Structure 1
Amino acid sequence: MPVSSQHKVYLPAEARDNQYLLAEFALTDELLAAFPASNPAKPFEQLYQQLSQQFFELADAAQLHNVHLIANGKTPVVRFHQEAYVLQTTEQILFFYNPSYHEAQHSFYDASIRARKISLLFLATDQPLRANAATFHQKVTTVLQQLLANLKMTETKVKVRDHQHLTYDLFAKAKGQKESYGYKLRSIGARYKARQCELPEHNALTYVIVNLPLSRRLKEQVALNLQSDAPYLPLYQKVSDSFVSACQPEQFKHLAVLANGLLPLVRNSQFDKSSHGTELQMIGFDPSAQAGQLISDLQGDKLVEMMQLVIFATPADQTDMGYGRFMNQVEAALHRFAKSLALQPERDDLTVRFHQHISYHL
């Protein structure tokens, strides 16, 4: 294989692309004092409304057309969808949208409750997203700086997270999607620098999350003892063992296998501690751990619809050209894994989501 081909991965042309930035800052007493309450029953309504109005006006001026203010403590989750939906659960706000044509401005808060922090969510809309990612990032940081100046909060620490991911079915070709597109998958920092967008010192994460639906045929591969306290553990363990074995030839050592019904949020354990709630699970990897890490959470007493498998990229997985070689290795491991479970490409789905994520303080 030519060297250039080794560093380029060919993904289905119908792979779904998303980018969003999340900016968060604390709701301080000083900020609260700038917006005195006019309604004792809703003491924070003035604050949230005025913040939203200023935020939306600045976003409009910067031609950012899908932005949201969140002041209810919930975690935003962004996914591609042909129809626009915003769904709220106890811990999440799920935004489904198509970047090509969905625009929106919304505020989410309870006017009677003081939020711990204000979150500003920016959803990318300028296609192609990856080519325009640096420009989008610059527009967002400009809006944030203008908003902080208007609020006289120039000394306030704002945490900025830039999330980008590509989502596709590993078996797309077997289902008739023959067209593909080649990606080098350069790091966000390298792509932005090439477009004259210099980032401050930042933390970068790259990883893959794979969604494996537990079909009837897959369940039938393992004899389950429904009288056991953990009747589904043999099924989960078989999947886990097959996944870890499939990753060994590629020397992937930072892995997670999850069968608990929670949505995984991947972080760097050097900065964030692992935790989980009733819907979300934060899992932390240490990129410098030479021996690797296997994070396993298999709730054998609970039958889940889907297992999640995580492959975390370390500095050794990045080349000067990007993560193309890494993703070729990921696909090789996943095809090996699929074969070991006798998955049927024409019928089964194995959804792969390639994540790139940076974070820093503005």
Structure 2
Amino acid sequence: MASMTLNRVYIPTNARNNQYILAEFKPSEEFYDCFDDLQSCYERLARQLFALCDEYELHNVHFIANDKLPVVRFHEESYCLQTQKQMLFFYNPKYHEAHKSYWEEGVKARKITLLFLATGSDIRANAAHFHGKVKRTLEALLETSKNIGENALRIRDHQHLTYDIFAKAKGNKESYGYKLRSLYPRYQARNCSLPDEHSEMTYATFSLPVTRALKTEYQHLLRPGDYSQFYKHIEDIFLSGCADKQLSLCAFVADGRLPLVRNSQIDKTSENSELQKLSFDTESDEVQITSVWDGEKLVDTMNFVIVAHASNKKDMGYGRFMNSVESVIHSFATKLHINPAKQDVNVRFFQHISYQF
């Protein structure tokens, strides 16, 4: 019984599940030459996509041809915000549906992205079924638009489980024990076949706002124009907590950029004005730590990432890994004197799987 408890993580029942799938390809010049102009290219592809989505009952799908990264988050209201580098989609899977297209007139996209958002309830339980519907839709789209098939199509399935680690302190006592099995065996068990050659990433993130209380607590480390000592102190507490739990793949990002986690065998660490790509080799036994902060700038929010090593992948799932992550966060919050009854610390458990379609 004790072993079973160690392999389960108890997450509050008000946790939010989310799933979305990206199908991406880089169109060649020959691809664009098949159409009279860009407008007709995008309109025709979007029309074919949405017709098939109606047929396969996919109710929230977006055609994106503007080279921006889709970022998906839960919200009670549905809306899309665009920055120079990102498209931020906010929605509630239970209620919101849409078929929309986004492109810049006269601009050839370097990458075309089809974004499929899961809808309904029991998102995690129905994840394999949703993935299967997306696969059938893409197979049909490749039949109707054979020129897409001439370009390498990559599938990326993203699943999030988001919750306040201090939910119990706020009166949300009910929890559910998750084993957090990896995606590949979960899908295989539900008759959703995936290629043997695929890439998986599992990790957790949490963020901490730089509140007035935190500034007051560490005012002796906060000098106008020089916040290095403050960041180093936060970094030391976080990294020592990770080391205590033998978590060797981690990152601290506090420069205003959004951290993105990638497999180093596919993507290399890079950055732009809004995004910080973090690449990890989950097979390597080397300690991989990334700290990115600007000592001259005090950010509004600090971001923390803990990535699961290949050795954290158990037959039972990632429950033991997440218990270690939660221990790190609780210890971290205690040392920073964060009040669990008044402040949320939202944890996101991510599972990604990608493959060539």
**Coarse TM-score class (shorter-chain normalised):** over 0.9
Q: Separation in 2 of the partners of 1:158 and 1:146?
A: 14
Contact 1:219 1:235 in 2 (8 A): no
- Match of residue 41 from structure 1: none
- Match of residue 119 from structure 1: 113
Aligned-residue offset at 1:225? 5.3
- Match of residue 321 from structure 1: 316
Any gaps of 5 or more consecutive residues in structure 1? 38-43
State whether structure 2 residue 260 is matched by structure 1 residue 265: yes
- Match of residue 73 from structure 1: 67
- Match of residue 3 from structure 2: 3
Q: Aligned partner of 1:26: which letter?
A: K
- Match of residue 82 from structure 1: 76
Give the 3-state SS of the residue equivalent to 1:111 in structure 2.
coil
- Match of residue 226 from structure 1: 223
Q: Separation in 1 of the partners of 2:263 and 2:316?
A: 23
Give the 3-state SS of the residue equivalent to 1:220 in structure 2.
helix
Give the 3-state SS of the residue equivalent to 2:131 in structure 1.
helix
Contact 1:21 1:161 in 2 (8 A): yes
Q: Greater shift after overlay, 247-256 or 188-197? A: 247-256
Q: Separation in 1 of the partners of 2:333 and 2:307?
A: 19
Structure 1 segment 153-232 matched on structure 2, within 5 A = 153=147, 154-200=149-195, 201-222=197-218, 223-224=220-221, 226=223, 229=225, 231-232=226-227
Aligned-residue offset at 1:257? 0.7
Contact 1:268 1:286 in 2 (8 A): yes
- Match of residue 63 from structure 1: 57
Aligned-residue offset at 1:192? 0.2
Aligned-residue offset at 1:327? 0.7
Q: Separation in 1 of the partners of 2:202 and 2:94?
A: 25
Give the 3-state SS of the residue equivalent to 1:140 in structure 2.
helix
Give the 3-state SS of the residue equivalent to 2:305 in structure 1.
strand
Aligned-residue offset at 1:226? 3.0
Task: Show CA shifts across 1:236-272 (max 9, x none).
Answer: 1111111111222211111101111111110011221
- Match of residue 107 from structure 1: 101
Structure 1 segment 296-311 matched on structure 2, within 5 A = 296-311=291-306
Any gaps of 5 or more consecutive residues in structure 2? none
Q: Separation in 2 of the partners of 1:237 and 1:252?
A: 19
Task: Show CA shifts across 1:125-149 (max 9, x none).
Answer: 1321111111111111111111112
Q: Separation in 1 of the partners of 2:105 and 2:141?
A: 21
Contact 2:215 2:222 in 1 (8 A): no
Contact 2:95 2:120 in 1 (8 A): no
Q: Separation in 2 of the partners of 1:16 and 1:302?
A: 32
State whether structure 2 residue 145 is matched by structure 1 residue 148: no
Q: Separation in 2 of the partners of 1:237 and 1:334?
A: 17
Q: Aligned partner of 2:348: which letter?
A: R
The alignment's TM-score, normalised by the length of structure 1, stands at: 0.95
Q: Separation in 2 of the partners of 1:225 and 1:15?
A: 35
Q: Separation in 1 of the partners of 2:137 and 2:30?
A: 21
Q: Greater shift after overlay, 21-30 or 195-204? A: 21-30
Give the 3-state SS of the residue equivalent to 1:11 in structure 2.
strand
Q: Greater shift after overlay, 248-257 or 65-74? A: 248-257
Aligned-residue offset at 1:152? 1.4
Task: Show CA shifts across 1:309-328 (max 9, x none).
Answer: 11010111111110011111
Aligned-residue offset at 1:117? 1.7
Give the 3-state SS of the residue equivalent to 1:252 in structure 2.
coil
The alignment's TM-score, normalised by the length of structure 2, stands at: 0.96
Q: Aligned partner of 2:3: which letter?
A: V
Give the 3-state SS of the residue equivalent to 1:68 in structure 2.
strand
- Match of residue 28 from structure 2: 28
Give the 3-state SS of the residue equivalent to 1:287 in structure 2.
coil
State whether structure 2 residue 356 is matched by structure 1 residue 361: yes
Q: Greater shift after overlay, 144-153 or 339-348? A: 144-153
How many residue pairs get aligned? The number is: 354
Task: Show CA shifts across 1:193-249 (max 9, x none).
Answer: 11011111210000011111111121223214535x5x2121111111111112222
Structure 1 segment 337-348 matched on structure 2, within 5 A = 337-348=332-343
Task: Show CA shifts across 1:261-319 (max 9, x none).
Answer: 11111001122111111111111111122121110012111111110011010111111
Equivalent of residue 287 in structure 1, options 269, 282, 290: 282
Q: Separation in 1 of the partners of 2:76 and 2:333?
A: 28
Contact 1:213 1:349 in 2 (8 A): no
Q: Greater shift after overlay, 154-163 or 255-264? A: 154-163
Structure 1 segment 85-100 matched on structure 2, within 5 A = 85-100=79-94
Name segments (4+ residues, structure 1) moved above 6 Å: none
Q: Separation in 2 of the partners of 1:92 and 1:215?
A: 26
Contact 2:206 2:348 in 1 (8 A): yes
Contact 2:252 2:291 in 1 (8 A): yes
Q: Aligned partner of 1:195: which letter?
A: R
Give the 3-state SS of the residue equivalent to 1:95 in structure 2.
strand
Q: Aligned partner of 1:323: which letter?
A: Y
Q: Separation in 2 of the partners of 1:280 and 1:22?
A: 18
